[in-house]
Every structure is written in C-alpha cells, then in structure tokens.
Chains A and B, each alone.
Chain A
Amino acid sequence: MTACARITCLVLLLVTIVPSMLFSQNDYLRVTAPGNRQLRLAIALPTPSAGSQDPKMAGEISDLLAFDLDMTGIFQVVPQGVPDADLVLKTSYSASAEKLILEYRLVEVQTGREVVAKRYSAARQDLRRTGHTFADDIVFSMTGERSCFTSKLAFVSTATGNKEIYLMDWDGFNVRRLTSNGSINLNPDFSPSGRELIYTSYKRGNPDLYRRELFTGSEARISSSSGINITGAYAPDGNRIALAMSKDGNSEIYLISKEGKQLARLTRNPAIDLSPAWSPDGRYIAFVSDRLGKPQLFVMDADGSTPRRLTTSGAYNVSPRWSPKGDKIAYCRQYGARFQIHLINPDGSEDRQVTFDGSNEHPRWSPDGRFIVFSSKRGGAEALYVMRADGSAQTKISRTGSAQSHPAWSTRF
C-alpha cells in the first residue's frame, strides 16, 4: 500500500462508522450501585444476528469491551452468569468479507430496562474501532462524559533498531509506523485537534523540530536553529508551540507559531530551561529548570513572567504535564537510578507518588483526564502502561517485545 492509500484508510476508518440509534435517549441515565461500590457488569458472549458463528470475532469484541470498561473503574467486569450482576451487555454481530453490523444493548438486570442500545454498520476492518465506539457510548450513557477509547497514542519505539515514531490505539492494538528515516526521533506531541504531530528528529543531523499532518502525511521542518530544538508542546489554541532551543547560548524556552516563526522568548537564565507544559486554559506553562542546581519544576505565566517554583521536595524533578481539567500536574521524580510518577496540584500542594514498581517516566494524560499513559521498565524492556488518574489499575498496553517509550495522547477521533 502506498503511504497515501494507508492514510486514506486511516481516515475512512475514522469516518465510516455510522451509528443509528435503536433506542431514543435524550438524557443519559445514571445507574448507581448501592453502597458506592463499582457496578458489576457482565459481558455476554456476542452472538451472530445473521449468518454463522464467528468465535474469533466474538472473543475479540468481548475482550475489547471488557478492557475498556474495566479500565474506567466505573464497572467491575464480572463473568457472564454471575447472579448479582447489575448490568448485562448483550452484543450481536453480522459480518461479510467487507461489511460489519454490530449491535449492542446495555440492560439493567434488576428491572430489565435498556440503558442504551445502538447499531453500527462499518467496514469489516473497523471492528476494533467500532468496539471502542461502543464502549465510549456506554461510558457516556452512564456518566454524561465521553472517554478516550477512540483516541490514538503516538510513541517512540526501537523496533527497527533506531528510535522511530509510531501510532497505536489506546489499548495497544493497531500499531502503525509513522517515521522511517533511520535516525533518532523523539518527543512526539499531538496538536489539540489530533490532526498534527510535532516531534524532534536528527534526520538532517541536528535535533530539529518537525510538524507532520497525519492525514496528508505532509511534513515541514519548523525549527532548525543551531543546537537543540526539543520538547515541543502545542498550546491549547493549536496555533503556537512552546519548545526549548539553545541557539542563544543555553537551553531556553521559546514560543513559535506552528509554521515556525519565532514569537517570543519566555526564559532568560544561564541555567537549563526546557520541557514546557501548558495549562489547559493556556495561561500558564510548567517547565523544568536547573536554575537552583538540580532540575526542578517551575510554573510561569504564558508570556514568561513571574516564574515560581512548583516542586519543593525531591532532588530531581522533570517531565511535567498538566491534566486536561487543570487540577493536577503529573511529573517524574528521580529516586536513585529510577524515576517515579508523581501528581501535584498546580499551587504546589498535595504532592503524591503514584508509581512504585520499576522505573516509570513520561506521563501523559488521556484527553478526558481519566487515565495517564507512561513508560515503565518494570517488566524489563521499556513498555507503555496505562493507569487511572488516581494511580490504580496500572496495566501494560505494549504488545510487542520492542521497547516503547515517550507516549503522547491524541484527542478523541
């Protein structure tokens, strides 16, 4: 397949799932379990609505739904037939070589009431995407908020022997290589629309910043100043990028337009300043600076004024990322030769460690703020894990033996 055809497929994949409501529902229904426990959800084995049984497809659908819904923490997925389930999810499918029709009904066990039901027709190869759309509908019907199951992760992998950028689904499936330039590629970051990705690449020798349009594949080198052009981060407006450059002596944070025009210099300090992270309202930027000796987190106004220290404990704190709701900043603290992920409030209060096993780096929030993806060496080779925002349910999503690191999380497609 040509690259263009691949991209066309990707986009078709994103748009050809046409939902039709089986059950008209204007307001979402809150179903709560007694005693504030998780809702027990039984996922019935998907059955064919027409045609023959396809056990492989049935298994794939139910595994996918179980993963998505269990990860949310709203549900506790229980085996089918457990007598005290609160909800049962019934799915049926009918598939030809090209087409796929999937239908589901979420039923409250006690009353027999249908909470939500939908039918989707899609291309056969969009099975997983359709399943994630189901799961997203179900979370929406229960909470009134969409989740991130149809979003993508960008990450760095050494599968080819050098660091290239890849894309995959949030649960680690559908891995697709994005760069193939044989050099070192680092620090992917999605634009707020999810349609563009910036990253640093050594493909022309120097660590320069590139911007790629994911759907057209067209790419531009947008920052190639002498020295480093690294840790680029899109502003929430999608038009500006904060990044670290060393062209004026040492690593400082600058603001450029997404076309690469320099707009402002935000830090002026003989120390190293880098890794900018925007607050979701675009008013503040958290960053790393070793102006007091070791790398620590600071927060400044988005015009570079009034920098103040954020972290006051820990000798070495890096990689800040602001949550989409603005209430937390995730970052990494060094403990000996290992890193652990912490969460802290933007005012510096409630600093809390959330990973403990192995060395864990590069935290990035899901677009709905429910989850954090990070890279971990707990299992040997570096791999990607997802956890809930409170640190629970740390789950490996990498499904290959090749090292995966440096995730970035797109918005929902």
Chain B
Amino acid sequence: MSRNFSGVLTALAMTMLVFSGCAKDQVKPDQGMTQPPAKSGPVAEQPAVKPEIKPAAPVAEPLKEQQVKDDVSAGLARPAAQESDSQSAEAARRALARIYFDFDSYALSQTARDTLYTNAEYLLKKYKGKVRLEGHCDERGSDEYNLALGENRAKTAMNYLITLGVPTEQLSIVSYGKERPLDPGHDENAWAKNRRVEFDVVK
C-alpha cells in the first residue's frame, strides 16, 4: 500500500513539474536553422587562369595582364565599382578554387599552396568581402576525429592566406568533418575529392 502511495506521489510531482515547465518555458522552436548555403552552380575545380609563377612568397606586385584576362573570362569587363555586391560575390565563389589533402593529413601540398596563392591574389585585389573556409574529410576516419581534422585543414589554409597578406578579418573557418562529401562514392577517387577545403562567400 505504501508502495502505491509513494508511486502516486511521484506521479503527481512529476506531472506538476511538467505542467509548470510548460507554462514557464514554452518550447523554443528550433529557429535560425538555415542550412549553410548550398553551392549554386558549378564550382571550378581549378582556377580559370593558372598563375604562371608559383612562388610561396608573399604577393606584392599586381599582375595586371592576368587580372584583365580574369575579368574577360568571367564576363566582367565593367569597372568593379559598378558591379553589384551579389554579382561580385558570385564571381568570387566561382573564382576561389578548392584545395585537396592527403589522407589523415592537413599539410598543404605544393598544388594546394599554388591554388591558395591564386585565391589570395583574388582576395587582395578583386573581392574584399568575407569568405569562409570549409574543411572537409573523406568518409574513412571516425566522424568525431574528422571534425577536428577538417578544422585543422581549414585553419592551415586560412593561416597560409594570412601569411600571403589577406586580412584576418576577411577570413573565417568551419569544419564539416565527413558530413558533406562532394562525391558520394566509396572509392579512392571519391575520397581524394572529399579531402578538401572549400571557399564560401559570407553574405
């Protein structure tokens, strides 16, 4: 009997707890949960114009010829000042090429450094808006460890851009670990594509 009584008491207490809880704190709807902007349109695998020189040294002098070529190839021959923000953001999204990594590594290869050099030039001369570097991994590691590895990839790339003179305030990072593969395949080909840092334009 006492067992029943204490059971009822517990039930009452817990029910009261719930009702008071509901009255006080309405369930907060999950809000502001937009998905990170989907990549619209194709993102170039390689920069439209490959830099002819490949020094890992800081960029100093403008490469005028190449800049003109870029503008023409992007169909943006107008002066930059007249360009709308969204157009220039879209152009930046297309121009900033992604870089790739070896398995379980966040070291920058020479190819990755070259790509970052080109991206740094673009960020110094053509696009002053904010960009976010997204670190990604292939599916083989553990999902938790990969979140930290993707973070290291994005951070290494960001630090390299900073040594090339890109203002820190222009850059931020996020790691997606293995949550957003570029290629859904399960072979070396797909994995190589998925171990990457992508550039996203922050609106």
Contact = CB atoms under 8 A, between A and B. Distances in A.
B135 to A, nearest CB: 10
A18 B7 CA distance: 6
A206 B174 CA distance: 6
A179 B151 CA distance: 25
Contact of A8 (B19, B152, B175, B176): B19
A186 B177 CA distance: 11
A91 interface: no
Contacts of B173: 227
Given A8-B22, A11-B14, A11-B15, A230 B144 contact: yes
A148 B31 CA distance: 34
Interface stretch (B32-40, B44-52, B121-129): B32-40
A183 B145 contact: no
B28 A217 contact: yes
Interface residues of A, number: 61
Contacts of B175: 207, 227-228
Contact of A216 (B21, B32, B155): B21
Contacts of A181: 30-31, 33
A215 B18 contact: yes
A217 B25 contact: yes
B64 interface: no
Nearest to B21: A216
Contacts of A207: 147, 174-175
Contacts of B78: none
A405 B166 CA distance: 40
B24 A184 contact: no
Interface string A285-324: 0001010001100000000000000000000101100000
Contacts of B176: 184
Given A19-B7, A230-B147, A250-B152, A182 B33 contact: yes
B22 A244 contact: no
B81 to A, nearest CB: 30
A251 B24 CA distance: 37
B11 interface: yes
A170 to B, nearest CB: 21
B147 A228 contact: yes
Contacts of B7: 18-19
A125 interface: no
B24 A318 contact: no
The interface centre, meaning the residue of B7, B148, B149 with most chain A CB atoms within 10 A of its CB, is B148
Given A4-B22, A184-B179, A187-B144, A251 B35 contact: no
B77 interface: no
Nearest to A274: B148
Nearest to A202: B36
Contacts of A203: 30, 32-33
Nearest to B186: A337
Contacts of A219: 28
A339 interface: yes
A21 interface: yes
B30 to A, nearest CB: 4
A182 B21 contact: no
B148 to A, nearest CB: 4
Nearest to B172: A226
Q: Which 7 A-B pairs rank lowest in CB-CB distance, beginning with the nearest?
A: A181-B33, A217-B27, A216-B21, A203-B33, A181-B30, A251-B148, A218-B25
Interface of A: 2-4, 7-8, 11-12, 14-16, 18-21, 162-163, 179-184, 186-187, 201-207, 213, 215-219, 227-228, 230-231, 244, 246, 250-251, 272, 274-275, 288, 290, 294-295, 316, 318-319, 332, 334, 337, 339, 361, 406
23 contacts: A7-B27, A14-B14, A20-B3, A162-B35, A179-B30, A182-B34, A183-B34, A183-B36, A203-B33, A205-B36, A216-B18, A216-B25, A216-B27, A217-B28, A218-B21, A228-B147, A228-B148, A250-B152, A251-B151, A272-B145, A274-B148, A288-B145, A295-B141
